[in-house]
A and B are shown apart, each in its own frame.
Chain A
Amino acid sequence: AQSVTQLGSHVSVSEGALVLLRCNYSSSVPPYLFWYVQYPNQGLQLLLKYTSAATLVKGINGFEAEFKKSETSFHLTKPSAHMSDAAEYFCAVSANQAGTALIFGKGTTLSVSS
């Protein structure tokens, strides 16, 4: 079975500051890991995904995440926050198998202040 834990339900940063959103996973098989962003009253947008290739994954909008097997982590970072980054962020995991659903973490709300 797969699960993810997102540490911190709410993260606040200043514009221009580093963004760090934490995600730890549990998986009985090699995982695929994802980060999604959701703006109010909208659907999900894929930021990036890890599918067992490079451990440092670069995504859209300047975000990146590093897969660390020893720490079972897949933390999301961005060097410099923009006001437009304020949104809900979800980490998700799936098994490397067709027909298996994504399992989502509880989400982290990112607030960005000027």
Chain B
Amino acid sequence: GAVVSQHPSWVICKSGTSVKIECRSLDFQATTMFWYRQFPKQSLMLMATSNEGSKATYEQGVEKDKFLINHASLTLSTLTVTSAHPEDSSFYICSAQPMEGYTFGSGTRLTVV
């Protein structure tokens, strides 16, 4: 089936630095990629929708300048958390929509210290 590969699985970074998370569709073309954030013991909240070759659409309350999304090709979308702070520590998950439904990356656990 369709697979989305997400890297890294976990990352620890210092406050003020930037972290890039990559999601690749391995055997299909992902025109659209969805990015979610999940805080501990909470649900997945949609952060943004990225479309290949165009600007991402952010959900209300999500800072565009802090969470930079790039979807330059049909197989790669990236999320960069800029100037990370401890409150950005969370589980980030990407999702694509191949023909047979939704498929999710394995998630990235970000810890900002």
Contacts and interface: CB of A to CB of B under 8 A. Distances in A.
Interface stretch (B60-68, B73-81, B101-109): B101-109
Nearest to B31: A99
Interface string B84-98: 000000000101010
A106 interface: yes
A98 B45 CA distance: 19
Contacts, number: 45
A105 to B, nearest CB: 6
A99 B95 CA distance: 11
Contact of A106 (B31, B42, B105, B109): B42
Contacts of B101: 46, 49, 51
Contacts of A34: 102
A41 interface: yes
Q: Tell me the interface secondary structure of chain A in the complex.
A: loop
Given A99-B51, A101-B95, A102-B95, A43 B107 contact: yes
B32 A43 contact: no
Contacts of B31: 98-99
A99 B105 contact: no
B43 A106 contact: yes
Contacts of A49: 101
- Most chain A CB inside 10 Å of its own CB: which residue of B34, B36, B44: B44
18 contacts: A34-B102, A43-B93, A43-B104, A43-B107, A98-B31, A98-B32, A99-B31, A99-B32, A99-B97, A101-B34, A101-B46, A102-B46, A102-B95, A103-B46, A104-B44, A104-B45, A105-B43, A107-B42
Interface of A: 34, 41-44, 46, 49, 51, 90, 94, 98-99, 101-107
Interface of B: 31-32, 34, 36, 42-46, 49, 51, 93, 95, 97, 101-102, 104-107, 109
Given A44-B104, A104-B36, 14 more contacts: A42-B107, A43-B105, A43-B107, A51-B101, A98-B31, A98-B32, A101-B34, A101-B49, A101-B95, A102-B95, A102-B102, A103-B46, A104-B45, A107-B43
